[in-house]
Amino acid sequence: MDREWSGIQQFPLATQTKLLELLGTLKEKEKNSVTILVMGKGGVGKSSTVNSILGERAVAVNAFQSDIPRPVMVSRERSGITLNIIDTPGIIEGGFINDQALELIKRFLLNKTIDVLLYVDRLDSYRVDNLDQQIIKAITRSFGKEIWRKGIVVLTHAQLTPPDFLSYDELFARRSEALINVVDSEARLIRRENPGHALPAVLVENSSRCTINDGREKILPNGIAWIPNVVETITKVATNESQSILVDPNSIDGPNANERGEWLIPFILGVQFLFVTQVKKWIKDDIAKAPKSSWE
Amino acid sequence: MSSIAAGTGQFLTLRHRRNRSNLQSSPSSASITTSTITCHQIKSQNPNKPTKNPHPKSSFFPFSVKNLAVSAAAGVIFHAALKNPSFLGSGGGSGGSGGGGYGGGGGGGGGGGGGWWKWVLSPEANADENQSEWDSHGLPADIVVQLNKLSGFKKYKVSDLVFLDKVKSIIVGSDDSFFEMVSLRAGGVYTKAQLQKELETLATCGMFEKVDLDAKTNADGTIGLTVSFTESTWEEADHFKCINVGLMQQSKAVDIEENMTEKEKMDYMRAQEREYRRRMERARPCMLPRSVHGEILQILSQGNVSARMLQNIRDRVQKWYHDEGYACAQVVNFGNLNTNEVVCEVVEGDITRVVIQFQDKLGNVCEGNTQIGVVKRELPKQLQKGNVFNIEAGKQALRNINSLSLFSNIEVNPRPDEKNEGGIIVEIKLKELEQKSAEVSTEWSIVPGRGGRPTLASIQPGGTVSFEHRNIKGLNRSLLGSVTTSNFLNPQDDLAFKLEYVHPYLDGISNPRNRTLRTSVFNSRKLSPVFTGGPGVDEVPPIWVDRAGVKTNITENFTRQSKFTYGIVMEEITTRDESSHISANGQRVLPSGGISADGPPTTLSGTGIDRMVFAQANITRDNTKFVNGAIVGERNVFQLDQGLGIGSKFPFFNRHQLTMTKFIQLKEVEEGAGKSPPPVLVLHGHYGGCVGDLPSYDAFTLGGPYSVRGYNMGEIGAARNILEVAAEIRIPVRNTHVYAFAEHGNDLGSSKDVKGNPTEVYRRMGQGSSYGVGAKLGLVRAEYAVDHNSGTGALFFRFGERF
């Protein structure tokens, strides 16, 4: 049903080979479909990243906020593997989370399984601000903290010249570290729990002026061809030991606290009945112990 | 031979007036008045007269209490002050009918002429009213005139009064107990007849062997009176016995006839003695405690038994009784004198009957609407037949009856029982309140119309219509209703109504179990504290929660404070926004200034209207009491709302709250009026939790004057489970107290378990502490509280108590 991933042919040969190899890996792991959720602040290049990975203009890139922020899913099939990429609008509005937009995304994702979450941010914004925290918090709240086991931090606008005192790798390390720390604290994912697991970070440069190497692959200032790298990371995360996240109604509204423990009510009532009986006894004691006047 | 006669005529009134216009238990004045208690003079014979008392071993000393005034006044809280019996007779408390005492009461047989008794008037009554008019004696100055030589037509002014003890040849001071026997006062104006009567009284009272009254003329026309007397004395005694002769038949003495032979006289005396012994055996023991007994033995060890000593003993015994509240107890007689045991005969004042009477507005006895059982069950058992009358029990009865709110005037009078010697009939006189009442209060709010001038259309008649039907069927059932609106012409805008039916004595009027059934139809409108902003959030559009429904519950009162209530509530809850439109979600102010209606849902159904039926139970255990005005003790309240699955979305839940407050007295203090209260440490804990369906209007909120002080209502959060802890220390200062407190409220991480998480949506912390200091100024608390979340303090004025 899904459209053939024709965009793959746009890529240079080296990239194509690598991608097909990765698809083969997925096939080996009997993963026929990979769903990727892309989230992040507005204007960091989420849609562009999606387009870059697919190698076609699959989603409309809008430099300015679209009228109705709606999530969009693009599905491409290649050699028996279906790639579903869900691009979401920025959920930040005027400095706060737009609950309505978030709600829309959640409804859109209902009954879908998320294999990979791409958390997109810019490499060239040096500070982790309150907005990052809020989005990470909102994501955690919406899908549960387990989603971060399927998470990848994507840093866009990777083609930049770092400040003099920092090397490019150092900058990347620091920037990704800062974001991962926020995720760790907000999602309360303690690394101790899972020492082998750390949120992977990848770099992306969507600009058409991106440097290319001899094989016409888009490369980053540190020389890595980023598209295969991203897809590789996606493959790794999609096939890691953590369960994919199924978005069910429970996880949308959070666990329904109104239903939790309802079956316990008869027992609670029983205990409360005993307690009331005990209080009655105390009252009787009080009456017996009440100091009496001499005439009584 | 000798006489025993007891006449206790007393009139003790406990009176309570209720302010008719205030139907609630608003300040109503109450007074308890004990007017003069008079005991009748009893005929007695001088026991030492050999001719009349040939048998020295048994003699009697009848006593008379001339004039006794006990007065007490009481406020609403009944700080009744019981004045010590004063013999000066000018008794009468506030609102009381003091003054001249009189009484009925049984006399007894007496020796001599069959016994007689007479009224003794209070001294004021004895003295001539018009003090200025008196006659000069018309005799030369400085001569001693015998009483019978005075003119019977003149009014003599007594300039001074002297008591002369003939045995010891000393003048007795005015502080002596004899003085109280005499109603004459220096400066009074008396006729010869009055003086003679006084002398007669003194001679017959049994205290004196011999009494003379001489007048000494003064140069200014007045006379000086000298009372010379010989005190009666008996043999020394080293035993004391107190017996209760109340309700006993007084011994009927047979006169010694002149023509009796010596043998007959002896036989007669023996018979008398036997009879007295039998009487002593029959008598019940009296309540006098050992300690007083010991004191009296000490008095006895002072030497020969004299009239004054007996008077002392009588005073001591009576003082104990009156201090304990046995206001009707009287020492009526001393018997067995001249043996080594003094027998004190006491009439303690046994209740022979309790009479409940209704009075109409004019004070005439009428048939009451109230059933007697309603009043009877309020009487303490100490006021029932067969108990000794105690004024405290009387006051308790007064308070209990008053709390029925059925009577405008309540009087509890003990009065002597004519048919039963020494018995007391407790008379309860009640004036009933009007059964039905209706009230309309209106207010006009004039709203400026066009051009700022009020037009006719802009004048809104608002107000309250209420009616009350009390004491239906005389069983204290009542039906109350009220309707309040700010505009009668358009009442659908804001109509508050309440209709309540109260049915007490559910288990029958004679059953001591006290259960009351209440059914009410109600509505209410409250601002929801769930939709409140946290610190720094300027304004959250308010949500009004309207509730309307029917409620039925049964309250069982264990004590005045401890009770158990259970019942069922059926209600419809509607949530509205500021402009009274039904709103299903809370609103948020967007940073752009717009309002979005995508906040947390306000109702369970999600439509803005919920209907539900649930069971409710509440048990309160309260053993707090006041120690000099400071509250001390423990109060625990457990409340439960159990959803039954009936209503919108079939709500099934268990919502429970437990409040525990302990008032710990930190220092022992002496209790009594005017004494300073102890410092008190208050510890308070409140847990609230809900399992199952929880609509936001039923979520527990944190912050506010009754939750965590220093915050606004709901400023800390709204959660499924909450815990509040507080400590307060109260230090008395003068007649009020200052206090310092620290409080903490916590949502236990359960804010997210309320649908829509209103705590987070409105940017609240979910937990918060505060501390501060304050002072109680009458009803108002002035306090400075620091809110720990923002670190800022503010001064608050609040009505009522936090705990």
Do residues B239 and B340 make contact, with C-beta atoms less than 8 angstroms apart?
yes
Residues paired with B62 in a beta bridge = B333
Look at residue B36 in the predicted model and tell me its pLDDT: 31
Q: Which chain A residue has its CA at the smallest distance from B696's CA?
A: A258
Q: Which of B790, B792, B688, B755 is nearest to B530 (CA)?
A: B755
Q: Which chain B residue has its CA at the smallest distance from A137's CA?
A: B760
Look at residue A102 in the predicted model and tell me its pLDDT: 78
Residue A203 has pLDDT above 60, yes or no: yes
Interface of B with A in 597-636 (CB under 8 A): 598, 604, 617, 619, 621, 623, 636
| Mean pLDDT, residues A54-73 | 71
* Residues B707-737 pLDDT 10s: 999 998 999 999 999 999 999 999 998 888 9
Look at residue B23 in the predicted model and tell me its pLDDT: 35
Contact B559 A286 (CB under 8 A): yes
Do residues B279 and B241 make contact, with C-beta atoms less than 8 angstroms apart?
no
pLDDT confidence bin for B177, thresholds 50/70/90: low
pLDDT confidence bin for B637, thresholds 50/70/90: very high
| Mean pLDDT, residues A81-86 | 88
Quote the CA–CA distance of A239 and B620 in Å, as a whole number.
61
* Residues B294-303 pLDDT 10s: 888 888 888 7
Q: What is the residue-averaged pLDDT of chain A?
A: 81
pLDDT confidence bin for B69, thresholds 50/70/90: very low
Look at residue B88 in the predicted model and tell me its pLDDT: 28
pLDDT confidence bin for B313, thresholds 50/70/90: confident
Q: What is the ipTM of this complex?
A: 0.73
| Mean pLDDT, residues B107-127 | 33
Contact A276 B564 (CB under 8 A): yes
| Mean pLDDT, residues B747-766 | 88
Residue B591, chain A, CB below 8 Å: the answer is: yes
* Residues B572-584 pLDDT 10s: 999 998 888 899 9
Chain A residues in contact with B392 by the CB 8 A cut-off are 293, 295
Q: A51-55, A196-200, B319-323 — which is least confidently predicted? A: A196-200
Q: What is the residue-averaged pLDDT of chain B?
A: 78
pLDDT confidence bin for B121, thresholds 50/70/90: very low
Pairing of strands A81-87, A72-78: antiparallel
Q: A253-257, B203-207, B665-669, B715-719 — which is least confidently predicted? A: A253-257
Q: B111-120, B628-637, B778-787 — which is least confidently predicted? A: B111-120
Q: Which of B296, B290, B297, B300 is nearest to B315 (CA)?
A: B296
Q: Which of A166, A169, A230 is nearest to A203 (CA)?
A: A230
Interface of A with B in 242-271 (CB under 8 A): 253-254, 257-262, 264-265, 268-269
pLDDT confidence bin for A265, thresholds 50/70/90: very high
Look at residue B232 in the predicted model and tell me its pLDDT: 79
Contact A287 B753 (CB under 8 A): no
> In angstroms, what separates the C-alpha of B723 from chain A's closest C-alpha?
18
Look at residue B207 in the predicted model and tell me its pLDDT: 73
Collapsed DSSP state (helix, strand, coil) of residue B663? strand
Residue B281 has pLDDT above 90, yes or no: no
Look at residue B328 in the predicted model and tell me its pLDDT: 86
Q: Higher confidence at residue A265 or residue A111? A: A265
Residue B122 has pLDDT above 70, yes or no: no
Chain A residues in contact with B390 by the CB 8 A cut-off are 295
* Residues A15-38 pLDDT 10s: 888 888 888 888 888 888 889 999
Residue A94, chain B, CB below 8 Å: the answer is: yes
Quote the CA–CA distance of B789 and A195 in Å, as a whole number.
36
Q: A234-238, B449-453, B575-579 — which is least confidently predicted? A: B449-453
pTM: 0.69
pLDDT confidence bin for B85, thresholds 50/70/90: very low
Residue B40 has pLDDT above 50, yes or no: no
Collapsed DSSP state (helix, strand, coil) of residue B193? helix
Contact B590 A94 (CB under 8 A): yes
Q: Which chain A residue has its CA at the smallest distance from B761's CA?
A: A99
pLDDT confidence bin for B96, thresholds 50/70/90: very low
Look at residue B134 in the predicted model and tell me its pLDDT: 80
Look at residue B458 in the predicted model and tell me its pLDDT: 62
Contact A262 B692 (CB under 8 A): yes
Residues paired with B521 in a beta bridge = B499, B550
| Mean pLDDT, residues B94-98 | 33
Residue B37 has pLDDT above 80, yes or no: no
| Mean pLDDT, residues B364-371 | 91
pLDDT confidence bin for A255, thresholds 50/70/90: low
Look at residue B653 in the predicted model and tell me its pLDDT: 94
Contact B592 A94 (CB under 8 A): yes
* Residues A145-190 pLDDT 10s: 788 888 898 988 888 877 778 888 888 888 888 888 888 877 665 5
Contacts of B425 (CB under 8 A, 6+ apart): B351, B352, B353, B354, B355, B414, B415, B416, B417
Look at residue A68 in the predicted model and tell me its pLDDT: 52
Look at residue B760 in the predicted model and tell me its pLDDT: 83
Residue B455, chain A, CB below 8 Å: the answer is: no
Look at residue B256 in the predicted model and tell me its pLDDT: 59
Residue B7 has pLDDT above 60, yes or no: no
Percent share of chain B, pLDDT over 90:
33
Quote the CA–CA distance of B635 and B562 in Å, as a whole number.
9
DSSP string over B562-600: -EEEEEEEEEEEEEE-TTS-B-SB--EE-TTS-EE--SS
pLDDT confidence bin for B123, thresholds 50/70/90: very low
pLDDT confidence bin for B46, thresholds 50/70/90: very low
Residue B16 has pLDDT above 70, yes or no: no
Residue B68 has pLDDT above 50, yes or no: no
What is the C-alpha R_g of chain B? Answer: 37
Residue B653, chain A, CB below 8 Å: the answer is: yes
| Mean pLDDT, residues B71-93 | 29
Percent share of chain A, pLDDT over 70:
88
pLDDT confidence bin for A277, thresholds 50/70/90: very high
Residue B562, chain A, CB below 8 Å: the answer is: yes
Look at residue B419 in the predicted model and tell me its pLDDT: 84
Q: Higher confidence at residue B140 or residue B22? A: B140
Chain B residues in contact with A259 by the CB 8 A cut-off are 692
Do residues B389 and B350 make contact, with C-beta atoms less than 8 angstroms apart?
yes
The CA-CA-CA angle for residues A224, A227, A229, to 5°, reads 60
Look at residue B249 in the predicted model and tell me its pLDDT: 66
Look at residue B253 in the predicted model and tell me its pLDDT: 53
Q: Which of B217, B219, B224 is nearest to B164 (CA)?
A: B224
Residue A261 has pLDDT above 50, yes or no: yes
Q: Higher confidence at residue B41 or residue A2? A: A2
Residue A2, chain B, CB below 8 Å: the answer is: no
**Which of B390, B393, B720 lies nearest to residue A257, judging by beta carbons?**
B720
Chain B residues in contact with A258 by the CB 8 A cut-off are 604, 653, 692-694, 755
Residue B754, chain A, CB below 8 Å: the answer is: yes
Quote the CA–CA distance of A211 and A218 in Å, as a whole number.
6
Do residues B552 and B567 make contact, with C-beta atoms less than 8 angstroms apart?
yes
Look at residue B592 in the predicted model and tell me its pLDDT: 64
pLDDT confidence bin for A250, thresholds 50/70/90: low
Chain A residues in contact with B536 by the CB 8 A cut-off are none
Look at residue B102 in the predicted model and tell me its pLDDT: 33
Chain B residues in contact with A269 by the CB 8 A cut-off are 642, 654
Look at residue B519 in the predicted model and tell me its pLDDT: 97
Amino acid identity of residue B781, one-letter, is R
pLDDT confidence bin for B47, thresholds 50/70/90: very low
